[in-house]
Structure 1
Amino acid sequence: MNWALLIIIFAATVGGGIIPMVVRKANPNLPIYLLAMSGACLFGITILHLVPEVYHELGHQAGIYIVAGFFLQVALQQLSHGAEHGHTHLPQGDHDHVSITPLLLGLSVHAFMEGIPLGFQFADPAALSSLVIGVAAHKLPEAMTLITVMIHSHQHGAKLWRILLIFSAVTPAAAILAAVLGSHSVYITNIIVYLVALVIGAFLHISTTIFYESGTRHHELSKRKVLAILAGLLLAFLTLIFE
């Protein structure tokens, strides 16, 4: 287990959550482009590194679990209201009435799923470090959205920090659990492979949803958003140098 990589994930999540705490009048377009770049990066890394791994391990069965993971994320989105891809899908006036427990539950399950591949022993030496880049890029806007909703729901002070720190620890904790259990049991290692396939499906849902929804009224792609997407894809392709 590479602890430095887990610290990067934790720091990216905390950093994303701190932004809405200290910057009350940020450029409204910043989250849009950040989401677009992180979504493209996550999509590219998933296709370049994770998909080949699970197909190598599971063969054509991998496709079944990837599709299942895609629709599992659709179900989780009913709890999280799309916060994992930068949305809440709620009218502006409803923020004061957000149900905190389902939101935190949905995001925490999603965050736990994100951590499972980080504890997996990949055959591709570039897969783990590349995945950390993709997950860290995704966690930053995800945490921004979560804390923004919490602030609008009148969660302040120590409680807000507790929510952020606990949420930030979920993904690293899942990675540690997967690594420890996998190292002690071949059976559990085999189960983790199927879980990784499910997570791939969830990643594909989140990243493609970001492409079409983040900050747009009619699913349009502005020039700046296209540039942000291209930057994210370039970052994903640059991870190939790790091989």
Structure 2
Amino acid sequence: MNWIFLLIVLLATLVGGLIPMVVKRVNPNFPIYMLAFTGACLFGITIMHLLPEVYHELGHQAGIYIVLGFFLQVALQTLSHGTEHGHTHVPTDKHQHVHLAPLLLGLSIHAFMEGIPLGFRFHDQAALSSLVIGVAAHKLPEAFTLITVMVHAHQRAPKLWRILILFSLVTPAAALLASELGAHSAFISSFTAYIVALVIGAFLHISTTIFYESGTKHHELSYRKVLAIAGGLVLAFLTLIFE
């Protein structure tokens, strides 16, 4: 396992969470365009790098698990309320209560799942480095939204730091676990391919939801958001130079 890759993902999560902690007033358009850019990048990398890998490993069965992963992410949203694709659901007054435990559980399960492909042994050498870019890009708005909800729920700074640090460790820990177990067991290594297919389905759900829903009114696509999406896709296409 490449420790630099894990460090990149860890730092991206920390940076995303730090923004709402240190910046008192964030421009409301910032998370919209950040989500659009990173969602498009994740979408492009999923299509260009991850899909070929799982179809190479699983054949036609890959499609079954991708669809299952798509709807698994739908189920996880009952816990996370769509935080992973930008839905904040912050309380409008101090008397409203935010159910933090289900939110953290849903996001942690999602974060663990997206770490597993980082420990997968890809045939295409460009796939892992490209995936790191996509996951790191996704962690920025994910952590940003999580901590934004926590700040609006009036959590104190020490607790915010504990939540952010622990959440930042979930994805690297999953990658290490998948890598170590896969290196010592052929069964687990082959089983990981099915998990990767599930994660692809989740990534497709998240990224496409970002395109048409997060931060927009009546599912509109402003020209600025289209430019952000285009920028994310360009970054995804640039990962092809790793091949």
Q: Same fold (TM over 0.5)?
A: yes
Structure 1 length as normaliser, TM-score?
0.98
Which ranges of structure 2 fall in alignment gaps of 5 or more residues?
Answer: none
User: Shift of residue 156 of structure 1?
Assistant: 1.2
Deviation, 1:158, is 1.0
Alpha-carbon deviation of 1:153? 1.1
Aligned residues: 243
8 Å contact from structure 1 (residues 178, 192) kept in 2: yes
The residue number in structure 1 matching 2:212 is: 212
Distance in 2, matches of 1:142 and 1:36, equals 12
- Structure 1 portions without partners, runs of 5+: none
Shift of 1:92: 3.7
Secondary structure of the corresponding residue to residue 98 of structure 1: coil
Residue 223 to residue 38, structure 1, CA distance change in 2 (3 Å): same
In 2, the alpha carbon distance for the partners of 1:95 and 1:180 equals: 46
Q: Which residue of 2 is the match for residue 185 of structure 1?
A: 185
> Matches of 2:96 and 2:149 in 1, distance apart?
9
What is the letter of the counterpart of residue 10 of structure 2?
A: F
The equivalent of 1:174 in structure 2 is 174
Matches within 5 A, 1:118-129: 118-129=118-129
Equivalent residues of 1:85, 1:209 under 8 A apart: yes
Kept in 2, the 8 Å contact 1:43–1:203? The answer is yes
The CA deviation at 1:76 is: 0.3
Rounded Cα–Cα distance in structure 2 between residues aligned with 1:93 and 1:216:
23
CA contact (8 A) 1:95 1:153 kept: no
Which whole-Å deviations, capped at 9, do the CAs of 1:98-154 have from their partners, x for residues lacking one?
101000000000000010000000000000000000001110011000001011111
1:165 corresponds to 2:153? no
Q: Alpha-carbon deviation of 1:89?
A: 4.8
Indicate the residue corresponding to 1:97 in structure 2: 97
| 2-structure distance, mates of 1:151, 1:89 | 12
Q: Offset at 1:93?
A: 4.7
Is 1:115 matched up with 2:115? yes
Contact 2:33/2:225, CA 8 A, preserved across alignment: yes
Deviation at 1:214, TM superposition (A): 1.7
Alignment of 1:1-243 (within 5 A): 1-89=1-89, 92-93=92-93, 96-243=96-243
Counterparts in 2 of 1:241 and 1:155: CA distance versus 1, 3 Å: same
TM-superposed CA distance for 1:26, in Å, is 1.5
TM-score normalised by structure 2 residue count? 0.98
Return the alpha-carbon distance in structure 2 between the equivalents of residues 177 and 126 of structure 1.
Answer: 21
Q: Give the 4+ runs in structure 1 shifted more than 3 A.
A: 88-96
- Aligned partner of residue 215 in structure 2, secondary structure: coil
Equivalent pair of 1:54/1:197 in contact (CA under 8 Å) = yes
Amino acid at match of 1:186: A
Secondary structure of the residue aligned to 1:97 is coil
Residues 51 and 200 of structure 2 are in contact (CA less than 8 Å); yes or no, is this contact kept in structure 1? yes
Residues 116, 106 of structure 1: CA spacing in aligned structure 2 closer, same or farther, 3 A cutoff?
same
